Amino acid sequence: MAEPTVFTTPDPTVRDLLATHPQLTSDVQCGLMLEGVPLSAIADEVGTPCWVMSAGTLRVRAQRLLGAMTQAGLSVAPHFAVKANDHVAVLRILSETGFGADVVSGGELRRARNAGIPASRIVFSGVGKTDAELRLALAEGIAQVNVESAEELEILSALASACNREMTVLLRVNPDVDAGTHAKITTGVAENKFGVPYDEALALYRRASELPGLRPAGYAMHIGSQILSAKPFREAYARLATLVKATRAAGYPVSALDCGGGLGICYRDEGEGSPDAWAGAIRAELGGLDVRLAIEPGRWIAAPAGVLLSTVVLRKVVTGGVPFIILDAAMNDLLRPSLYDAWHGIVPLSPRDAVADVETVAVVGPVCESGDTFAPARVLPRLERGARVAVLDTGAYGAVMSSTYNSRTLAAQVLVDGERWSVIRPRQNVETLWADEVVPEWIKQTA
Ligand SMILES: Cc1ncc(COP(=O)(O)O)c(C=O)c1O
Ligand SMILES: N[C@@H](CCCC[NH3+])C(=O)O
């Protein structure tokens, strides 16, 4: 009997993951594919661990988000949150779909410029911008700085005055609204370090309008990340609208609002945050205010566009416990599971592996930390030494959060577009790990 052309796995988890990830398909000949490229071909040529990004998915999702805004009758200036994925190729692709950049450091600002994003489409957020970073923003003449404290207002004013420049400023307000997400990625409750307290915002706006070198234009808000419901957005934007009205009533013009990012994706079975519902929340609360609107999403666009390829180094069987599947990828590559107990889909690349018997295993990395665990108890097709897997939804907050802990080199990065693919960052050469290290003469002498 002929084999079916599309394999389904006996593991509902893997099957369901493929159903919720249309960018991935699985074929009996080619195994798991991202767009038109078999991932095993990339793993064969480039080795593992290896990050793979899908250009098509980036474009589709960026356009879907913009489409939802247009559909809601909104005109928004979109800025991609560079922290989510800062690769120059990614920034270029998104820039071509109409995105500017939301940056949080001088490094990100320079990267965005290097990717060809005009200064007029760059906004600078962040709670602790250094003088050097603010001077860079002034010198580049970026669109706006989202100021996060009374202190930063004074510093930016002094720096702008010193170089005879003016900077458009949005005051980031902390609305004290719970985004209903993981505590470590919530940014809009009072105890978080982000933004100025809601009740102090108007007084600070007034102060900004008195300071030389600043052009206060409005407010910014970002309440957290991986937000799945429109409710917290609505609550926060309602507070923002009240603030805008109070500011205008006090005689200060407000012409711009930055609605932040934060829309979540479906990692497991939680369903994904709806761009339409997000756009609806913006329109309902802010649509009638006659202001320029901006958004700064990261995860929703980039996370589903990326996978991390890895190989099983070995299966370690222990008496009385679940087998350990030890991968060649680790927490230094993908930190999210260790840092937030985040759940990421794990799917075998080979159809043969995917149709094998299922078992419960602990999927871990080789780093010397018990926290180096991708999944403490996961039902997966039986994976033998040498089997390869894709860790899903790693296109945002994946490669950008990598380190070289345990002297592990940064993994290679690949970009797929239709049936083409290219290495967009070679695997780091191990010698570069110590190339800049210096042993002082006085240590050499004692040795
Ligand atoms: C100020 C700011 N803007 C935008 C983002 C992007 O958020 P997300 O990737 O959840 O869309 C973040 C990250 O949480 C942020 O802190
Ligand atoms: N790094 C976080 C998101 C932080 C968003 C930035 N404020 C994550 O991986 O989920």
The domain that contains 237 carries what CATH number? 3.20.20.10
**Ligand 1, atom nearest to 397 Cα:** 9
Mutation probe of ligand 1 site: the residue of 259, 296, 397 with most atoms within 8 A of C-beta: 296
Query: Which of these three, 297, 319, 343, is where a domain ends?
Result: 297
Mean pLDDT of 249-258: 98
Mean pLDDT of 227-247: 96
pLDDT of residue 391: 98
Residue 59 lies in a domain: no
Query: Which of these three, 297, 314, 346, is where a domain ends?
Result: 297
Task: Please tell me whether residues 87 and 200 are part of one structural domain.
Answer: yes
Mutation probe of ligand 1 site: the residue of 222, 258, 393, 394 with most atoms within 8 A of C-beta: 222
Mean pLDDT of 1-13: 40
Compute the distance between CA of residue 272 and CA of residue 226 in angstroms, rounded to an integer. 9
**Residue 10 scores a pLDDT above 60:** no
Mean pLDDT of 186-206: 90
pLDDT of residue 175: 87
pLDDT of residue 136: 98
Query: Which of these three, 262, 297, 332, is where a domain ends?
Result: 297
Mutation probe of ligand 2 site: the residue of 228, 299, 335 with most atoms within 8 A of C-beta: 299
Residues 6+ apart with CB under 8 A from 38: 27, 30, 31, 32
Quick: pLDDT tens for 339-373.
999 999 999 998 766 666 889 999 999 999 999 99
Task: Please tell me whether residues 311 and 218 are part of one structural domain.
Answer: no
Nearest CA to ligand 2 atom 9: 397
Quick: pLDDT tens for 74-118.
999 999 999 999 999 999 999 999 999 999 999 999 999 999 999
Mean pLDDT of the chain: 93
User: In which band, very low, low, confident or very high, does the pLDDT at 1 lie, cut at 50, 70 and 90?
Assistant: very low
Task: Please tell me whether residues 330 and 279 are part of one structural domain.
Answer: no
**Ligand 1, atom nearest to 396 Cα:** 9
Task: Please tell me whether residues 155 and 114 are part of one structural domain.
Answer: yes
Task: Please tell me whether residues 307 and 279 are part of one structural domain.
Answer: no
Which domain covers residue 353, as residue numbers? Answer: 12-54+303-432
| Cβ-based burial of 211 (10 A; exposed 0-12, middle 13-18, buried ≥19) | middle
Q: Which of 30, 50, 163, 368 is catalytic?
A: 368
Count of the separate structural domains present in the chain: 2
pLDDT of residue 191: 82
Residue 328 lies in a domain: yes
Mean pLDDT of 51-65: 98
Residue 60 CB coordination number (10 Å): 17
**Residue 331 scores a pLDDT above 80:** yes
pLDDT of residue 440: 95
Compute the distance between CA of residue 159 and CA of residue 153 in angstroms, rounded to an integer. 10
**Residue 6 scores a pLDDT above 60:** no
163 flagged as catalytic: no
Burial annotation 353-372 (CB, 10 A radius, 16+ → b, else e): bbbbebeebbbbbbbeeeeb
**Ligand 2, atom nearest to 224 Cα:** 7
Residue 224 lies in a domain: yes
Residue 99 lies in a domain: yes
User: In which band, very low, low, confident or very high, does the pLDDT at 446 lie, cut at 50, 70 and 90?
Assistant: low
Lowest mean pLDDT among 134-138, 143-147, 180-184: 180-184
What is the pTM assigned to this prediction?
Answer: 0.95
**Protein residues with CB under 6 Å of any ligand 1 atom:** 81, 84, 102, 125, 187, 222, 225, 260-263, 296-300, 396
Task: Please tell me whether residues 328 and 292 are part of one structural domain.
Answer: no
Residue 441 lies in a domain: no
Q: Which residue has the higher pLDDT, 268 or 423?
A: 423
Residue 387 lies in a domain: yes
CA angle 75, 258, 393 (to 5 degrees): 90
Task: Please tell me whether residues 201 and 274 are part of one structural domain.
Answer: yes
pLDDT of residue 447: 59
The ligand with the least distance to the CA atom of 296 is 1
Q: What is the CATH number of the domain that holds 350?
A: 2.40.37.10
**Residue 283 scores a pLDDT above 50:** yes
Task: Please tell me whether residues 104 and 79 are part of one structural domain.
Answer: yes
**Residue 139 scores a pLDDT above 80:** yes
**ipTM surpassing 0.90, yes or no?**
yes
Residue 25 lies in a domain: yes
pLDDT of residue 60: 98
**Cα-to-centroid distance, 171 and ligand 1 (Å):** 16
Task: Please tell me whether residues 353 and 236 are part of one structural domain.
Answer: no
**Residue 185 scores a pLDDT above 90:** no
Task: Please tell me whether residues 95 and 239 are part of one structural domain.
Answer: yes
Task: Please tell me whether residues 419 and 332 are part of one structural domain.
Answer: yes
Quick: pLDDT tens for 374-409.
999 998 889 999 999 999 999 999 999 999 999 999
**Cα-to-centroid distance, 260 and ligand 2 (Å):** 13
Nearest CA to ligand 1 atom 13: 225
**Cα-to-centroid distance, 204 and ligand 1 (Å):** 23
Quick: pLDDT tens for 300-323.
999 999 999 999 999 999 999 999
Question: Percent of the chain scored above 90 by pLDDT?
Answer: 84
Residue 62 lies in a domain: no
Task: Please tell me whether residues 139 and 259 are part of one structural domain.
Answer: yes
